Structure 1
């Protein structure tokens, strides 16, 4: 509901101290408002007021907000608001301020942005207690001298005016100034006296046609954020984006409180030798779109506190393993570096990393240590040179967003499958061969089965062999047959009737009771279909078949999916969860049309795990 008229009943609230009637359609303030003698805060912003004379009778008012109305001037009776501390009248059409504004001696914050001011009254210099002054978006063609009388100022903002020429040397009289914003004016010169502002923490001179020879910020030792983008500089002391800087001066290393440094879109190829002196405070560094062929080692000192690092669009060919020193790094972007073919193992030590952007490179593989990035939620691998999908990403536990668009990169090629594996699957479950629409679907199911088998918890292997009738001697024999011990056995096929007489949960094998009964008594006599190189016989037990050609082909798959063992709790439901994750990978490869069919194959894949 929007109000068109001021509620008369409000004037009877004599003890009211706060009144907010913003965001209405009020065109005037009634005279009865003077009865609200206890009012200290009044917000009438975003209305249609053209006059606020009645408000000036509220002598106890400390905060007044008339932003976004239709005011063209302020009343001369403004002096009556002797207790006013904060006054906001931005986004109106005020052309000038009355002399009486100088009577507001306790005023600490004044916001008059986006009006039509071009001058200030002489009395303005009386506002010696003013701490914040925002005059952005007006039509000042110079910095009014009256401002320099406001000696307590902590923040002065004059961006988006038409200030021309040089900044007056008197600006150094504002010794307490911490924030100075002169962005998007027509300033070409800064006085050397600017260095006397030793308390300055934030300086923005972006969008000014500054002459680089006139700038020297090296003595602004408290500076934390400096922005001078789009100034057309060819040489400058600190962070300036969208310029043509090729060299940074040593003075930048003296900015001991610098937190944010943006140097993108320049021509930098190196950093000063003492750059690591900034490592104790520097949190954000953007070196994108420069000419670095080698990443400076000064970025990777052990005491670094960098949380954001951008190295996009540089001709770098490698990332130093010393990146493992950036323990506080949360965002890393190394995209569009066309010579970059690999990432270092040390990247896995950046355990606080949340976002990793490595698109548009020449990456063909990823380090296995990426599985240690427990905080990583966003990963962009688009447009690289991967031959096969990097399965290590499936081991990143908290990954939420994975971008893998190969519009410009190399298309994926199906990996080769070990000989004999598919024939085994057909023998155990003959009906599968009639369920496929294409050879590619066969490949997908085979890959899915491979991964399910590899994820059987290795610690259960010994007990499983005992349950199906292996003696200790036979287990020893298997250990000799399979290098690395029975925990690394990749394929062990057992006749289904060998399970008869043993009592254990069928779910442990990913095989439900119905499937067991269906296959009970089946003989694996047609061993030629297995491409078997060796058959082990056990006295008084059924045949045990193993395919020696499959001992080591899928080691990488097993290691890549080792983290899945944590969630694989030997239940069909958890097997389904793991399978669903694999189906999602298939979907990323581009097999959208197979997604629904593969959901039907999950159970079959479980049935041929052993």
Structure 2
């Protein structure tokens, strides 16, 4: 780093008449010069104990070169400089900010997180253009009244300080969209928070709150409410009126009852683990029509109601460490459920080996236990009024009304041509050929390529995937579980609309990276194979991948780069021989695993 004035006297000792001054890293002249043009100055992580005057006065004093008898080109004319709008002073050793802060009235972003500030100057109230203020990770015990003059603020980060209260004047920040007061010493929060009608994200986690004011329900725009690690014994019923709420985190509190959410039609994630909830009833589930993630781990639940079937969009259900002894069989009919976590429950009616096979096998078992009317395979009792007697093997009704070509559980070695003949002219969208003895994919399946979106070839004897299957370019869901597949052809990448593929219980020794050329993939289930390694860099190409199940394989090492797959909501790695991440980290869920991996990416 070059120092202003050169190093001519750098090695000269101070004489008797001089006092040695503690050296402090200066702000390079080049940074100041660049900031005058760009309006942005980043001084983070420079060991600063105070902000140099040249920063506060950057828009007030002309640069030193303006006093010289030189001519300026267009890029160096100081009188054409840009007002500073963004100032980052994060990760230094600042104990205070000067009142000269008022000399930067154009600031829209001020970031002073990770310092040693115990107070803020009153002058901060004069930054009327400020939209984002980050003063987290400091030592603030109180906030100046002038802070509430900042009516343009959209983002306010106050987390990791020593605040014991939030002033009622916070309700004046009516344009605030993001507020984080987590990891403080808050015992209460003011009712005036309800006046923040523009707020989208609100984080109250890791405080000492025993209650949340009912006025919070007036936050009509709120999408994410985080109140984990508090002392809440209940939440106000008014919370159910928050129609825009999408994610609610209430983990690690003292809740005994699950709230009811009759108006939260958009609630997608509900996290209430580590509480004392003993009962879950139909009244709690009937309004959660949009729920995708329901996390109930570490509670005292003894049962689930049959109304769990109402959660038709549910993808992840975490019931770890409860007192559940049996499951409702209808759970097996949840169409989108990909992750069902049950460890730590005294389940008696389901064998442990079934649970250990993974979610899909468990759901299959539950479906098999549902008492249904016998279908009468192969006899006339199964023929409907629209089924021709000579074609009792073919469900014409399903073809005509449900657009389904159904020929499953026949122990068939081949699919008769008559089945495909009967489908001609019908807009078939679903093909179910599961539970047979097929050794290859029927070639005539390619005749359905213009309409079919869902194919089930599970529980057969397939050793390879034919190119005919790869012509189904409208395919969205493909089920190939319980076969003897060892690989997929590169032509599989033609399925450019595929969202879900199930490859569990096959014989893959290598991950089929041909799938990484299908950008629409959201779910890959490849548990119970023999996959020995993961190439994280190839998986990172799948930026829409939400669920990856690689349980019960032979993975010896999990690459840290897998943590960069930030869109993953469900990552299942249990049952592999790797040592890290440890089982305790895996048990904390996908977010904890990804964070663990990211922290170990080499820099």
TM-score by length of 1: 0.51
Aligned match of 2:303: 318
What are the superposed Cα offsets for residues 187-229 of structure 1, whole Å, 9 maximum, x if unpaired? 3343333322222232233333446487742323332223334
- How far is 1:132 from its partner? 0.4
SS in structure 1 of the partner of residue 202 of structure 2: strand
Q: CA deviation at 1:154?
A: 0.8
Aligned residue in 2 for 1:66: 43
CA contact (8 A) 2:227 2:250 kept: no
Report what 2:93 is aligned to: 93
In structure 2, the residue matched to 1:77 is 54
2: distance between equivalents of 1:93 and 1:462? 74
Greater CA deviation, 562-571 or 176-185?
Answer: 562-571
> Residue 131 and residue 569 in structure 1: after superposition, are their counterparts in 2 closer, same or farther (change >3 A)?
closer
Q: Helix, strand or coil for the counterpart of 2:412?
A: helix
Q: How far 1:109 sits from its partner (Å)? A: 0.8
Q: How does 1:275-286 map to 2 (within 5 A)?
A: 275-278=261-264, 280-286=265-271
1:220 aligns with 2:219: yes
Q: Runs of 5+ in structure 2 lacking a partner?
A: 8-22, 60-81, 365-407, 417-434, 441-455, 467-482, 487-504, 509-527, 531-550, 553-603
Unaligned runs of 5+ in 1: 7-27, 33-47, 233-242, 367-384, 400-454, 464-487, 491-506, 509-560, 590-610
By how many angstroms is 1:92 displaced?
0.5
Q: CA deviation at 1:329?
A: 2.0
The answer on whether the counterparts of 1:261 and 1:285 sit within 8 Å (CA) in structure 2 is yes
How far did residue 111 of structure 1 move?
0.4
Q: Quick check: 1:224–1:260 contact (8 Å CA) kept in 2?
A: yes
Aligned counterparts of 1:213 and 1:579: Cα–Cα separation in 2: 51
Q: Indicate yes or no: 2:269 matched with 1:260.
A: no
- CA deviation string 1:282-314 (max 9, x = no partner): 111123244444423244437711111112234
* Aligned pairs (5 A) from 1:14-413: 28=3, 50-52=25-27, 54=29, 55-58=31-34, 59-78=36-55, 79-81=57-59, 83-164=83-164, 166-210=165-209, 212=211, 216-232=215-231, 243=232, 245=233, 247-272=234-259, 275-278=261-264, 280-301=265-286, 304-351=289-336, 353-364=337-348, 385-386=351-352, 389=354
Report the secondary structure of 1:217's partner residue.
helix
Structure 1 residue 457 displacement after superposition: 7.7
Asked if 1 retains the 8 angstrom alpha-carbon contact of 2:255 and 2:277, the reply is yes
Structure 1 CA distance, aligned partners of 2:124 and 2:465?
A: 78
Structure 1 residues 276, 30: CA separation in 2 closer, same or farther (over 3 Å shift)? farther
Q: Conserved in 2, the CA contact under 8 Å of 1:49 and 1:69? A: no
> 2:32–2:41: 8 Å Cα contact kept in structure 1?
no
Q: Aligned pair 1:458/2:416, yes or no?
A: no
Q: CA deviation at 1:356?
A: 2.1
Aligned partners of 1:271 and 1:296 also within 8 Å: no
CA-CA distance at 1:566 after TM superposition = 5.8
Deviations 1:335-381, CA, capped at 9 Å, x for gaps: 22233223423433332x33221112233566xxxxxxxxxxxxxxx
Q: Secondary structure at the match of 2:323?
A: coil
Look up the SS of the partner of 2:218 in the other structure: coil
Q: Deviations over 1:5-42 (max 9, x none)?
A: 45xxxxxxxxxxxxxxxxxxxxx57889xxxxxxxxxx
Q: Which secondary structure state, in structure 2, belongs to the residue aligned with residue 180 of structure 1?
A: strand
Specify the structure having the higher radius of gyration (Cα): 1
Whether the 8 Å contact between 2:227 and 2:249 is mirrored in structure 1 is no
Report deviation, 1:98: 3.0
For the residues of structure 2 that align with 1:186 and 1:393, how far apart are their CA atoms? 42
Q: CA deviation at 1:136?
A: 1.1
Q: 1:392 to 1:324 in 2, by over 3 A?
A: farther
**C-alpha spacing 1:570/1:314, structure 2 compared with 1 (3 Å):** closer
Q: Distance in 2 between matches of 1:254 and 1:284?
A: 16
Q: In structure 1, what is the Cα distance between the partners aligned to 2:207 and 2:484?
A: 62
Q: How big is the shift at 1:459?
A: 2.2
Q: 1:483-534, CA deviations, whole angstroms, 9 ceiling, x for partnerless residues?
A: xxxxx999xxxxxxxxxxxxxxxx99xxxxxxxxxxxxxxxxxxxxxxxxxx
Q: TM-score, normalised by structure 2?
A: 0.52
For 1:146 and 1:92, the matched residues in 2 are separated by 24
For residues 415-469 of structure 1, the C-alpha deviation after alignment (integer angstroms, 9 at most, x for no partner) is xxxxxxxxxxxxxxxxxxxxxxxxxxxxxxxxxxxxxxxx998224999xxxxxx
The Cα offsets for residues 57-85 of structure 1, whole Å up to 9 and x where unpaired, read as 44213222111111111122323245222
Question: Secondary structure of 1:563's partner?
Answer: coil
CA contact (8 A) 1:53 1:77 kept: no
Conservation of the 8 A alpha-carbon contact between 1:106 and 1:129? yes
Q: Distance in 1 between the 2:213 and 2:412 partners?
A: 71
Paired residues of 1:322 and 1:346 also in contact (CA < 8 A): no
With CA pairs under 8 Å and 6+ residues apart, which has the higher RCO, 1 or 2?
Answer: 1
Helix, strand or coil at the partner of 2:186: strand
For these two proteins, the number of residue pairs brought into alignment is 366
From the two aligned structures, give the one with the greater helix fraction.
Answer: 1
Q: Hey, what's the Cα distance between the residues in 1 that align with 2:117 and 2:363?
A: 53
Cα displacement (A) at 1:135 = 0.7
- Structure 1: how far apart are the matches of 2:363 and 2:6? 62
Measure the CA separation in 2 of the matches of 1:219 and 1:346: 36
Partner of 1:606: none
Is the Cα–Cα contact under 8 Å of residues 69 and 92 in structure 1 kept in the other structure?
A: yes
Aligned equivalents of 1:266 and 1:307: distance in 2? Answer: 22
